[in-house]
Amino acid sequence: DAKTTQPPSMDCAEGRAANLPCNHSTISGNEYVYWYRQIHSQGPQYIIHGLKNNETNEMASLIITEDRKSSTLILPHATLRDTAVYYCIVRVADSGTYKYIFGTGTRLKVLA
Amino acid sequence: EPEVTQTPSHQVTQMGQEVILRCVPISNHLYFYWYRQILGQKVEFLVSFYNNEISEKSEIFDDQFSVERPDGSNFTLKIRSTKLEDSAMYFCASSDWRQGETQYFGPGTRLLVL
């Protein structure tokens, strides 16, 4: 089972910041938080990841709480093309490999 | 920017037939993965592959499935005798030589078994 919980859906006005929350209360100390998105049935697209520090790249910012039990993905100026399902994934390290266990994600709809 | 490619984009087959789905991972990557997504459901891990052998496989990856890296660039998923329930999107992913690094996904192959 996925180690994360996310709200099933959110709306955001175009041009506004989209803040997508994720709970991962059972995360272990060496497990990373990854964010991907999936537009229609395309392949999941990597957005950002982090361990304990906040991270920012050209797509988004990732805010991880100090206790690491939750995080928030921020899309600073959402556009219609950001409409997608967003997945928060705790990367599991078992048997030396790093499979992803996807949850059901948050369906973000950006409204014009 | 390098990307993972997959062929074909769509495949229709009859139940019981063999299918081979092909992937070309990013060129300097050494870890390879297959995932699938049945319509309307979650993305599910199938198998991971490193150094020419399976590292880990899920319960879904039974004896009907196999993976191979036949040359230096391709990574294939074979389903020996397809079932109706194998209809899904199949995604290939790869990550680089540093174990545990970010996985990059291909666009997927939509498989329909009739």
Give the CA distances from residue B62 to residues B43, B47, B86, B97, B104, in Å, rounded to whole numbers and listed in that order.
17, 10, 12, 27, 24
Q: In this predicted model, what pLDDT tens digit does every residue of B71-86 receive, in sequence order? A: 878 999 999 999 999 9
Q: What is the mean pLDDT of residues B1-6?
A: 91
Share of chain A above pLDDT 70, in %: 95
Would you state the structure tokens that stand for residue A4, as one six-digit string?
A: 């994360």
pLDDT at residue B80 in the model: 96
Helix (H/G/I), strand (E/B), else coil: A63 = strand
CA atoms within 13 A of residue A6's CA, in its CB half-sphere: 28
pLDDT at residue B101 in the model: 77
Confidence bin at A97 (pLDDT 50/70/90): low
Query: Is A102 within 8 Å of chain B by CB?
Result: yes
pLDDT at residue B90 in the model: 98
User: How far A96 CA lies from chain B's nearest CA (Å)?
Assistant: 8
Query: Is A30 within 8 Å of chain B by CB?
Result: no
- The answer to whether residues A48 and A60 touch, using CB atoms and an 8 Å cutoff, is yes
Confidence bin at B23 (pLDDT 50/70/90): very high
Please give the DSSP secondary-structure letter assigned to residue A2: -
pLDDT at residue B97 in the model: 64
Share of chain B above pLDDT 90, in %: 79
pLDDT at residue A55 in the model: 95
- The answer to whether residues A31 and A100 touch, using CB atoms and an 8 Å cutoff, is no
Strand partners, B21: B77
Nearest CA in chain B to A98: B100
**Mutate which: B59, B89, B105, vs A, most A CBs within 10 A:** B105
**Mutate which: B7, B102, B111, vs A, most A CBs within 10 A:** B102
Q: Please judge whether B107 and A42 are an interchain contact, meaning their C-beta atoms are less than 8 angstroms apart.
A: yes
Q: Which long-range contacts (CB under 8 A, 24 or more apart) does B25-28 make?
A: B25/B73, B25/B75, B25/B92, B25/B94, B26/B2, B26/B94, B26/B96, B26/B104, B27/B2, B27/B73, B28/B96, B28/B97
Neighbouring C-beta atoms of residue B1, cutoff 10 Å = 4
Confidence bin at A2 (pLDDT 50/70/90): confident
Collect all residues from B whose CB is shorter than 8 A from any CB in A.
4, 31, 33, 35, 37, 39, 42-45, 48, 50, 55-56, 58, 89, 91, 93, 95, 99-100, 102-108, 110
**Mutate which: B9, B35, B43, vs A, most A CBs within 10 A:** B43
* Side chain identity, residue B46: L
pLDDT at residue B100 in the model: 62
Q: What is the mean pLDDT of residues A25-53?
A: 91
pLDDT at residue A94 in the model: 56
Assess whether pLDDT exceeds 90 at residue B1. no
Q: Please judge whether A43 and B37 are an interchain contact, meaning their C-beta atoms are less than 8 angstroms apart.
A: no
Place of tokens 């490193």: B50
